[in-house]
Structure 1
Amino acid sequence: MNIKPIKTDADYRAALKEVETLMMAEPNTPEGEKLDVLVTLIEAYERKHFPLELPDPVEAIKFEMEQKGLSVKDLEPMIGKSNRVYEVLNRKRSLTLRMIQKLHLELGIADESLINQPVEIR
């Protein structure tokens, strides 16, 4: 197994090509182990060179509402009465720790997204 660190864009592209050839490798075989190692190296390179920004908390909530067909009424158990839900969705009120916990548990929104500093709207 000839594997080296991914340091450049060319190394990255070469590793992706190699992974493509190994996609059907069986687990616990030399090819499968090579695939595992290459995927780990690629993920580390991508985290460093292509970081993903977390979504704004309100946008994350609105996205989940849209995806799951939820209404303001559906958010009341997690946020509070409908006027409080509207305040959160209109950025008039910040999320509390309890709201974050409930939204994470009930809707599966990543807590990292919910505690992310909201984008200021001008």
Structure 2
Amino acid sequence: MQSASDLDLHAQLKNIIPEQQERLKKLKSVHGKVYLGNITVDMVIGGMRGMTGLLWETSLLDPDEGIRFRGLSIPECQKVLPAATPGGEPLPEGLLWLLLTGKVPSKEQVDALSKDLRSRAKIPGSK
């Protein structure tokens, strides 16, 4: 059985974000002045001002296999991500978890995220 923190996306991100921040700091310190055409790594990480581009590691468009999410093709996502019904399409919350954490969530993690999102849902004008 998974602990409450294993089921909490916020807790998962709290652990992942500092690691990613350190990785980006190292990337900038080692390669920050490297030019990418007329663009430096500092410019890419620093907000993309005055240029067209994006540093985004959660998906990749492969010319042969199509889009990949955190390294997984769409058919692979359909196989490994939790679905509402066996053999059905993956739940959107599972894909969100994968994109944010880089890890395939368990059904319990997806259910906990779904419950959390539902608890925050408010319809304008309703009580």
User: TM-score when scaled to structure 1?
Assistant: 0.25
User: TM-score when scaled to structure 2?
Assistant: 0.24
More strand per residue: 1 or 2?
2
**Higher RCO, 1 or 2 (CA under 8 Å, sep at least 6)?**
1
